[in-house]
Amino acid sequence: MSTHPVPIQDWLDQLQASGYRLTAPRRAIVELLVESNHALSPIDVYDLGRRDHPGLGLVTVYRTLERLEELGLVQRVHLPDGCHRYLRAAQGHQHLLLCTRCGQVEVFSGDDLNPLSERVEHATGYTIQDHWLQLFGVCPRCAIA
Amino acid sequence: MSTHPVPIQDWLDQLQASGYRLTAPRRAIVELLVESNHALSPIDVYDLGRRDHPGLGLVTVYRTLERLEELGLVQRVHLPDGCHRYLRAAQGHQHLLLCTRCGQVEVFSGDDLNPLSERVEHATGYTIQDHWLQLFGVCPRCAIA
DNA sequence: CTTGTAATGAAAATCGTTTTCAGTTATAAT
DNA sequence: ATTATAACTGAAAACGATTTTCATTACAAG
């Protein structure tokens, strides 16, 4: 279904435009993140990245994920068990459905949470900055096994 | 506002009814969790608990939180930065608003997510098991400072 | 091509969490 | 009350994930 919704070159251009250098390890990491529909842990990125780029170090994975997150190209997601998984950033009012077994991700454009957010803001006096709407389940592929 | 919505004795009774023993460290931990309106990390619980019970060990905190979570008395919550904070369990269709500075929690009875959940379930073929709806912001007290 | 600086990977340090273990204590049976 | 036993405790060690340090490498501007 979603093969390359975001071209790899766009990410590389954005990195360069922000003053970062284009290196072989970064290319490998960007490539796999753009192509994956799964929420990946740093170790996942490391293992996948070493297929294309065997010398890749785990530290570089951490640093590259940090930069990609700063640029808004990837987002961190939390799962009920582990935290700190990374994912191509969603755009607009998209929410996530995650498979708790394999980490596969589906995005859905559910309700706009802004009305709710404003209502709660007034009721509580908080200044609301962010919201999470995430569903968790088992994807069809994992349901078979 | 919410001083002791759940009596400490109920939690202690539940622990005992489930075959667990009532000990001094557990009393201290239960007491502070029942009384707190903040999402607390294990270290927070440790520090607070040692006021009443100076000998308290961090390992006991982890083990007690594990048991209280099993019994459904506390729930784990994730924050954008750190994970694994603990909180008196909400009941029913309650969702959370968390202060990203101090961890204070407000619960609100927002939308029932079941209709949305079923719609997405049919659209994707996933079997949905759980959902998170959380808002993040700054509470009035932290907004001043 | 040369040069300055960012980026790299290995090793060490650090932090949060879990396991191990010997000693202690709550609880049930006597 | 006393005892027996199994659960519980806290300290230390082990462990895994993440960060820091540092010497070397390589991108990119001139």
Is B98 strand, coil or helix?
Answer: strand
Tell me the CA distances in angstroms from B70 to A114, B4, B15, B74, B79, one per residue in order: 34, 22, 10, 8, 21
Strand partners, A13: none
Measured distance CA(B93)–CA(A53) in Å, rounded: 47
Question: Looking at the complex, does the CB of residue A62 fall below 8 Å from at least one CB of chain B?
Answer: no
Instruction: Name the average pLDDT for chain A.
Output: 93
Say what the pLDDT of residue B112 is: 84
pLDDT band at B139 (very low <50, low <70, confident <90, very high): very high
Residue range A65-88: mean pLDDT, rounded: 94
CB pairs under 8 A between A and B: 108
What are the residues whose beta carbons fall under 8 Å from the beta carbon of B124, sequence distance 6 or more?
A: A97, A106, A108, A139, A140
A131 touches chain B (CB under 8 A): yes
Does the pLDDT value for residue A82 go beyond 50? yes
Q: Enumerate residues 6+ apart whose C-beta is below 8 A from B115.
A: none
Q: What count of other Cβ atoms lies within 10 Å of the Cβ of residue B133?
A: 22
Give residue B2's pLDDT band: very low, low, confident or very high (50, 70, 90). very low
Helix (H) or strand (E) holding B130: strand B127-138
Does pLDDT of A42 surpass 90? yes
pLDDT band at A110 (very low <50, low <70, confident <90, very high): confident
Concatenate the DSSP letters of all residues of B16-82 into one string: HHTT----HHHHHHHHHHHH--B-B-HHHHHHHHHHH-TT--HHHHHHHHHHHHHTTSEEEE--SS-
Pick from A100-109, A110-119, B134-143: least confident: A110-119
List CB contacts (< 8 A) between B84 and chain A. Answer: 83
Q: Are B65 and B49 spatial neighbours (Cβ–Cβ below 8 Å)?
A: no
Average pLDDT over residues A91-110: 92
pLDDT at B92: 82
In tens, the pLDDT along B53-77 reads 999 999 999 999 999 999 999 999 9
Which A residues between 13 and 52 have a beta carbon under 7 A from any strand C atom?
19-21, 23, 25-26
Q: State chain B's mean pLDDT as an integer.
A: 93
**Of A48, A42, A84, A83, the residue nearest A63 (C-alpha):** A42
Q: Is the CB of B18 under 7 A from strand C?
A: no
Nearest to B109, CA basis, from B91, B132, B88: B91
Instruction: Give the mean pLDDT of A88-95.
Output: 90
CA-nearest residue to A125 within chain B is B140
| Token output for B19 | 């075959």
What percent of chain B stands above pLDDT 70?
A: 96
pLDDT digits (tens, 9 = 90+) for B73-90: 999 999 998 789 999 998
**Considering only CB atoms, which chain B residues are within 8 Å of A121?**
137
Gap between the Cα atoms of A66 and A117, Å rounded = 28
Tokens, residue B94: 């309650």
Phi, psi (deg, nearest 5) at residue A20: -90, 155
The confidence score (pLDDT) of residue A5 equals 53
What is the residue-wise DSSP string for A70-139? HTTSEEEE--SS---EEEEPP-SS-EEEEETTT-BEEEE-----HHHHHHHHHHH--EEEEEEEEEEEE-
> Protein footprint on strand C: which nucleotides are under 7 Å from a CB?
6-11, 16-20, 25-27
Instruction: Determine the pLDDT at residue B5.
Output: 53
Give tens-digit pLDDT for A112-143: 889 999 999 999 999 999 999 999 999 999 99
State residue A79's pLDDT score: 94
Q: Each residue of B103-133: pLDDT tens digit? A: 999 999 877 889 999 999 999 999 999 999 9
Mean pLDDT of A51-74: 97
**pLDDT at residue B4, rounded to an integer:** 55
> Given this model, what pLDDT does residue A2 score?
47
* Residue range A85-89: mean pLDDT, rounded: 96
Spell out the residues 6+ positions from residue B87 whose beta carbon is closer than 8 angstroms to its own: B38, B39, B40, B74, B75, B76, B77, B96, B105
What is the rounded distance in angstroms from the CA atom of residue A86 to the CA atom of residue A68?
Answer: 10
